Structure 1
C-alpha cells in the first residue's frame, strides 16, 4: 500500500503513524504542505490513502496560501473518494470538505484525556489532545467519539477524522518543544506533563495507536 503523509510544519512529524506504516511494509511519501502544496495541488496523488497531520494554523485562516490550497486538496480527495485520514487540523480540513464548520472555542484542550463518549473502546483513549477549535458536522456524518460536547472522532465514506493526536509519542512531543519560546506558560507546563506521561506509558501508547491505525486503515481502504 502507498500512503502520502502531509506534514504541516517542520516539527509536526508523523511519529507513530509513520512507524505503523513502516511496520506494515507500506510505502510512505511525506510532503511538507507549506513548501509543496503552494506549488502543486498534488494532482499526481494516486496513492491508496492520504494522511493529513496537525498544524498550529486554523483551517479558517484561508488568507494563508497553503491552508487555502490544502482545503481545496482535501475537498478534491473527498469528492473523488480517495481514502483520507485526518488528524486534528487534518480532521478540521475533512470537516469543512464534508460541509461542516470549524471555529475557535475560546479555550484550549492540552494533555492526555479519555473521550467521555465512544462507540467502541478503540476510540476512548487516553489520547493526546491539543486543540482550541470546535467542529460541527452534517447529520449524515458518523461520530465515533465526543468529549465535553466536542467531536473527537468521525467518519464519512472512505474518510476518518480525529481531533486528538494518535501519532504522538515522546519523540514527537520533544520535537514540539521547538516552539517553546512561542508558547504560553500554560502551554509549556502542559507540554512537560504530556511528555512525562508519554515517557512513562510509551509501550501502551504505541499499542493503542497501532490498534487504532489498523482499524482506521481497514475502514478507509476496504
Structure 2
C-alpha cells in the first residue's frame, strides 16, 4: 500500500504514524505543505490513502493559498472515496469537506487527556490534545469519541478524523520545541508537562497509537 502523508509544519513530522506505516511494509511518501501543496497537481497526490497532519493555522483561513489548496484536495479525495485519515487540522479539513464547520472555541486544549465518551477503549486515550477549534458535523457522520461537547474522533465512508494527536511521541514533542519562542508561557509549560508524560510512557503511547492506527486503516481501506 502507498500512503501519502501531508506535513503542514517543519516541526510537525509524522512520528508514530510513519513508524506504523513502515512497520507494515507500506510505502510512505511525505509531501510538505505549503510549498509542495501550492506547486503540485492535486490529482497526483491521490494514492491508496492520504494522511493529513496538524497545523498551527485554522482551516477557516481560506485567504491563505496553501490552506485553500488543501481544502480543495480534501474535497477531491472525499468525492472520489479515497481513504483519508485526518489528524487535528486534517480532521478539520475533513469536517469541512463533509459539510461541517470549524470555529475557534475560545479556549485551548493542551495536554494528555482521556475522552469522556468513546466507541471503544482505543478511542478513549489518554491522547495528546493541542487545539483551540471545535467542529460541527452533519448528522450522517459517525462520532467515535467526544469530550466536553467537542468532537474528538469521527468517521464517514472511507475517512476518519481525530482532533487529538496519535502520531505524537516524545521525539515529536521535542521537535515541537522549535516553536517555543512563539508560544505563550502557558503553552510552553503545557509542552514541558506533555513531554515529561511522553518520556515516562514511551512504550504505552506507541502501543496505544499502533492499535488505533490498525483500526483506522482497517476502517478506511476495507
TM interval, shorter chain, is over 0.9
Q: For residues 41 and 136 of structure 1, what CA distance do their matches in structure 2 show?
A: 30
Does 2:124 match 1:153? Answer: no
Match of 2:188 in 1: 188
How has the CA–CA distance of structure 1 residues 134 and 203 changed in structure 2, closer, same or farther, with 3 Å as cutoff?
same
Match of 1:102 in 2: 102
Match of 2:6 in 1: 6
Q: Secondary structure of the equivalent of 2:30?
A: strand
Question: How many angstroms does 1:112 deviate by?
Answer: 0.1
Question: How many angstroms does 1:47 deviate by?
Answer: 1.5
Q: Secondary structure of the equivalent of 1:174?
A: helix
Contact 1:83 1:220 in 2 (8 A): yes
Contact 1:41 1:69 in 2 (8 A): no
> Which segments of 5 or more consecutive residues in structure 2 lack a partner in the other structure?
none
Contact 1:7 1:52 in 2 (8 A): yes
Q: Secondary structure of the equivalent of 1:192?
A: helix
Q: Secondary structure of the equivalent of 2:155?
A: strand
User: How many equivalent residue pairs?
Assistant: 222
Contact 1:41 1:73 in 2 (8 A): no
Structure 1 stretches of 4+ moved >2 Å: none
Q: For residues 50 and 201 of structure 1, what CA distance do their matches in structure 2 show?
A: 28
Q: For residues 87 and 30 of structure 1, what CA distance do their matches in structure 2 show?
A: 15
Q: Secondary structure of the equivalent of 1:37?
A: helix
Aligned-residue CA RMSD in angstroms? 0.6
Question: How many angstroms does 1:40 deviate by?
Answer: 1.8
Alignment of 1:50-129 (within 5 A): 50-129=50-129
Question: How many angstroms does 1:46 deviate by?
Answer: 3.8
Question: How many angstroms does 1:41 deviate by?
Answer: 3.8
Question: How many angstroms does 1:45 deviate by?
Answer: 2.9
Match of 2:169 in 1: 169
TM-score, scaled to structure 1: 0.99
> Which segments of 5 or more consecutive residues in structure 1 lack a partner in the other structure?
none
TM-score, scaled to structure 2: 0.99
Match of 1:34 in 2: 34
